[in-house]
Chains A and B, each alone.
Chain A
Amino acid sequence: MGKVKIKNLKKNFGDLEVLKDINLEVKEREVICIIGASGSGKSTLLRCINALEDASSGTIEVDGNDITRADGNINKYRQDIGMVFQQFNLFPHMTVLKNISFAPVALKLKTKEEAEETALKLLRSVDLEEKANVYPEQLSGGQQQRVAIARALAMNPDVMLFDEPTSALDPEMVGEVLNVMKQLAKDGMTMIVVTHEMGFAREVADRVIFIDEGFIVEEGPPSEIFGNPKNQRTINFLNKVL
């Protein structure tokens, strides 16, 4: 049973066709890494999955719910889809603890005490327990991104989407964020990761998807994509980045 089922997804920005015909099924506990050049449509694909971008046509089912026809239910559906952004997007006017506990409390899913307890537990899991009461601006990029992951996890999502989570980080901080993501994958989270970290994709992904010009050009286990790519465009791309 697929956790995420994308059928014939198309997305246009005006006259520009960014996604031309995407078909993709992600199984529960599967870790998918999406690779491709800038402007290939990989981030747009990710953003369509939680309707931050509206699909132009096609369907996207997450857990059986069609995101593209969510109407009034989109807020409900989004609660089960965690998202981590390139720019972290922590709320600067809230402490780290509040960043994580705010949404579950505001949406009345948890009491303040329960949400804070969960938040502390999550902070412990990303090794930032001592930062609970500071504001995001006092954290390094890597720390902020780990808090952002904890914030998404606080909603107890079924799927986690990562939109180039390490691209805005200084090189020495990439590792700490990837380690958190590796642990998450090990714990069985269903993950879709748009990334430029080929090492991570090779090590953690169950399946790697190469997107180019709005199409899925090639997909397969990392050993195949990195070890024996078949499509010439995949080969060209990998030659450039590896």
Chain B
Amino acid sequence: MSIPALIVQYWPRLLAGLALTVEITIISLILAGILGMVFGLLSVSKRKGLRAIALVYVDIVRGTPLLVQAFFIYFGIPAALGIQSDPVVSGVITLSLNAGGYLAEIVRGGIESISRGQMEAARSLGLPYGMAMRSVILPQAIRTMTPALINQCIITLKDTSLLSVIGVTELTQTGRLIIANNYQSFEVWAIVAVMYFIIIMILSKISKRIERKMSYGKSKN
């Protein structure tokens, strides 16, 4: 079968796979964003104990392969607890925890890139720490963080393909299942690759636009 014919025949399945890929990416990134913000803020805390918690989390995420994390969460933990686990739920948990660790580092780096004088100036006006962080430090930090954040979004989107090994029928797993039927490995993987590529290109374009909008000062006057 030619590539166009393959696309026509398997379009509903490919599209469903892509939809699940995007869905898992979005949900995971939202959860990871919360984790990243919380642990990122912990890691710049004045209290040693809080910094230690963040450090342990980030080290675990960075120190183990994503695939092992997925196996541990999908097979390991349910086996120990004697429960049934759902591949999509396990997949989302894995990616959230994983991306959360990297985002925490991005948030920490972003906050630390802002000169200490900014926090001091805000505190000297009588602003509490949280308010100073929220209104003065984070708005500036997010600007410097944006390229790294976008990069992490793209990485997480691509990492969803690893969830195929725990049986999540996202785009990669859909490709594998189609090939199991028709053995047209070259054509199907080419189609799958192009679909990832298009989605990621769209994401990059949108993010470039966001980045441009966020540069402040001169453009607004």
* Chain A 143-158 interface 0/1 with B at a Cβ cutoff of 8 Å (1 = within): 0000010011001000
Give the interface centre of A85, A92, A107, A138 by most chain B CB atoms within 10 Å: A92
Cross-chain contact B140 with A155 (CB below 8 angstroms): no
Cross-chain contact A103 with B125 (CB below 8 angstroms): yes
Q: How far is the CB of A165 from chain B (nearest CB, A)?
A: 13
The 7 A-B pairs with the shortest beta carbon distances in the complex, nearest first, are A79-B126, A89-B121, A83-B124, A89-B117, A103-B125, A135-B217, A78-B126
**Residues of the B chain whose Cβ atoms lie less than 8 Å from the Cβ of A78:** 123-126
Q: Restricting to A149-193, which residues have a CB under 8 Å from any CB of B?
A: 151-152, 155
Known: A85-B120, A93-B140. A134 touches B126 (CB 8 A): no
Q: For chain A, give the interface size range.
A: 20 to 34
Q: Is residue B218 within 8 Å, beta carbon to beta carbon, of the partner chain?
A: yes
A-B contacts, 30 of them at CB < 8 A, read A52-B120, A52-B124, A75-B123, A75-B127, A78-B124, A78-B125, A79-B126, A81-B124, A82-B124, A83-B121, A85-B120, A85-B121, A87-B117, A89-B115, A91-B121, A91-B122, A91-B140, A92-B216, A93-B140, A102-B135, A103-B122, A103-B126, A106-B127, A133-B221, A135-B217, A138-B217, A138-B218, A138-B221, A152-B124, A152-B125
Which residue on A lies nearest to B219, using beta carbons? Answer: A135
Q: Which of B120, B127, B128, B221 contacts A135 (CB 8 A)?
A: B221
Q: Which of B115, B128, B143, B220 contacts A75 (CB 8 A)?
A: B128
Cross-chain contact B220 with A135 (CB below 8 angstroms): yes
Q: Is residue A76 within 8 Å, beta carbon to beta carbon, of the partner chain?
A: yes
Complex CA distance for A96 and B81, rounded to whole angstroms: 58
Complex CA distance for A76 and B220, rounded to whole angstroms: 35
* Chain B 112-148 interface 0/1 with A at a Cβ cutoff of 8 Å (1 = within): 0001011011111111100100011001100100000
Q: Restricting to A66-101, which residues have a CB under 8 Å from any CB of B?
A: 75-79, 81-83, 85, 87, 89-93
**Residues of the B chain whose Cβ atoms lie less than 8 Å from the Cβ of A134:** 221
Q: How far is the CB of A155 from chain B (nearest CB, A)?
A: 6
Q: How far is the CB of A118 from chain B (nearest CB, A)?
A: 14
Complex CA distance for A86 and B125, rounded to whole angstroms: 16
Complex CA distance for A73 and B118, rounded to whole angstroms: 21
Q: Is residue A195 within 8 Å, beta carbon to beta carbon, of the partner chain?
A: no
Cross-chain contact A50 with B117 (CB below 8 angstroms): no
Q: Is residue A17 within 8 Å, beta carbon to beta carbon, of the partner chain?
A: no
Which residue on B lies nearest to A50, using beta carbons? Answer: B124
Complex CA distance for A158 and B96, rounded to whole angstroms: 50
**Residues of the B chain whose Cβ atoms lie less than 8 Å from the Cβ of A103:** 122, 125-127
Known: A52-B120, A106-B131, A106-B135. A79 touches B125 (CB 8 A): yes
Q: Which of B124, B216, B218 contacts A93 (CB 8 A)?
A: B216
Q: Is residue A114 within 8 Å, beta carbon to beta carbon, of the partner chain?
A: no
Give the interface centre of A82, A93, A107 by most chain B CB atoms within 10 Å: A93
**Extra 13 A-B pairs, beta carbons < 8 Å, given A78-B125, A92-B216, A138-B221:** A52-B123, A52-B124, A77-B126, A81-B124, A85-B120, A87-B115, A91-B121, A93-B139, A93-B140, A93-B143, A106-B127, A152-B124, A155-B125
Known: A52-B124, A76-B126. A137 touches B217 (CB 8 A): yes
* Chain B 29-47 interface 0/1 with A at a Cβ cutoff of 8 Å (1 = within): 0000000000000000000
**Residues of the B chain whose Cβ atoms lie less than 8 Å from the Cβ of A52:** 120, 123-124
Which residue on A lies nearest to B131, using beta carbons? Answer: A106
Complex CA distance for A74 and B26, rounded to whole angstroms: 41
**Residues of the A chain whose Cβ atoms lie less than 8 Å from the Cβ of B127:** 75, 103, 106-107
Q: How far is the CB of B3 from chain A (nearest CB, A)?
A: 49
Which residue on B lies nearest to A104, using beta carbons? Answer: B125
Cross-chain contact B217 with A151 (CB below 8 angstroms): no
Which residue on A lies nearest to B124, using beta carbons? Answer: A83
Q: How far is the CB of A34 from chain B (nearest CB, A)?
A: 18
Which residue on B lies nearest to A148, using beta carbons? Answer: B121
Complex CA distance for A151 and B118, rounded to whole angstroms: 13
Q: How far is the CB of B129 from chain A (nearest CB, A)?
A: 9
Cross-chain contact B221 with A89 (CB below 8 angstroms): no
**Residues of the A chain whose Cβ atoms lie less than 8 Å from the Cβ of B123:** 52, 75, 78
